[in-house]
Amino acid sequence: MPGEKSDLMEAAVASAVRKQFGRHMVALRRMSDDEIADVATLEQQLFDPPWSADSFRAELHNTVSTTVVLQSDGRIIGYAVVWLIGDEMEIIKIAVAPPFRNQGIASWTLELMLERARRHHVSHVFIHVRRSNASAIHLYEKYGFTTQGKRLDYYAAPREDALLMVAKI
């Protein structure tokens, strides 16, 4: 149902799900208001232009949004924002801090999102990605996303096209 916020991901993030990645135990759970400052700081390092703290705060009150953090040893090491609207899901953001990359943490996060999509009988999952973002494109292709279109000059700083990638569930 549009905006419904209960399912596996919901249950998982309420109580946190955990997985070991190398020597790091990583927890995934719903973002709380007092974590927004740390998330916004990480966001500034990872995205240009970055979302503001207020943008993340708005997501916490957005009924179609599930906004989660990835945490290890008490530090925020990543986050994700996903919208579920009717039978469509859009992955708005997924990010992992550089020292924690290439260990499968984003893959695990994406798997949980796709599991959520299946539970909600989602037909399509959408994501926009910079066309130069090879690691993200590789990640999405690994999970069955294919490029369905291009959005010219979708991003600023630097100006760049987006690929619209879609996975059929």
Ligand X SMILES: CC(C)(COP(=O)(O)OP(=O)(O)OC[C@H]1O[C@@H](n2cnc3c(N)ncnc32)[C@H](O)[C@@H]1OP(=O)(O)O)[C@@H](O)C(=O)NCCC(=O)NCCS
Q: Interface with ligand X by CB under 6 A: which residues?
A: 46, 93-96, 101-107, 129, 133-136, 138-139, 142
Q: What angle do CA 89, 91, 94 make, to 5 degrees?
A: 155
Q: Pick the closer one to ligand X by CB: 6 or 135.
A: 135
User: Which stretches within the chain are classed as H helix?
Assistant: 8-15, 36-46, 53-60, 105-119, 134-142
CA atoms within 13 A on the CB side of 87: 6
Q: How far is the CB of 1 from ligand X (least distance, A)?
A: 26
Q: How far is the CB of 108 from ligand X (least distance, A)?
A: 7
Q: Pick the closer one to ligand X by CB: 6 or 44.
A: 44
Q: Pick the closer one to ligand X by CB: 122 or 155.
A: 155
Q: Pick the closer one to ligand X by CB: 30 or 93.
A: 93
- Smallest CA-to-CA distance from 98 within 159, 23, 42 is with 42
Q: What angle do CA 21, 134, 125 make, to 5 degrees?
A: 80
Q: How far is the CB of 64 from ligand X (least distance, A)?
A: 17
Q: How far is the CB of 63 from ligand X (least distance, A)?
A: 22
